[in-house]
Structure 1
Amino acid sequence: MPQMSPLSWILLFIYFIILLMLFCIYNYFIIFYKNPSSSKKKFSKISLNWKW
């Protein structure tokens, strides 16, 4: 039935959007972020005075 084809496309679109969102959320939470306090220690050792 051709009348049902648009509904099918909409469901496929929703399905792939949900998959994309789940994939992005999964990738966001799998990355291990470093503690910001450890990065501040690196910058405190570096001299920010220009030599020229």
Structure 2
Amino acid sequence: MPQMAPLMWLYLYSFFLLSLIIFMSINYFIKPYEKIDTKADSLSLPVQPIWKL
């Protein structure tokens, strides 16, 4: 029935907003891993010699 089409879009819009709110809240509360500082590790590694011909 054509009269039901606006309700379908309303349900789709509300489902999109609900999933967006859930996704944003999950991203807010779950923090990503902290990056490991690689500068401290690179100082302990031996430096490769520069080869000259």
Measured against the shorter chain, the TM-score band is 0.5 to 0.7
Unaligned runs of 5+ in 1: none
What TM-score comes out, normalization by structure 1 length?
Answer: 0.61
Unaligned runs of 5+ in 2: 49-53
RMSD, matched Cα: 2.5
Task: Measure, in 1, the Cα distance between the counterparts of 2:11 and 2:46.
Answer: 54
SS where residue 32 of structure 1 aligns? coil
Task: Measure, in 1, the Cα distance between the counterparts of 2:16 and 2:8.
Answer: 12
Q: Which has the higher helix share?
A: 1
Q: Which residue of 2 aligns with 1:16?
A: 15
Larger radius of gyration: 2
Identity %: 9
What TM-score comes out, normalization by structure 2 length?
Answer: 0.60
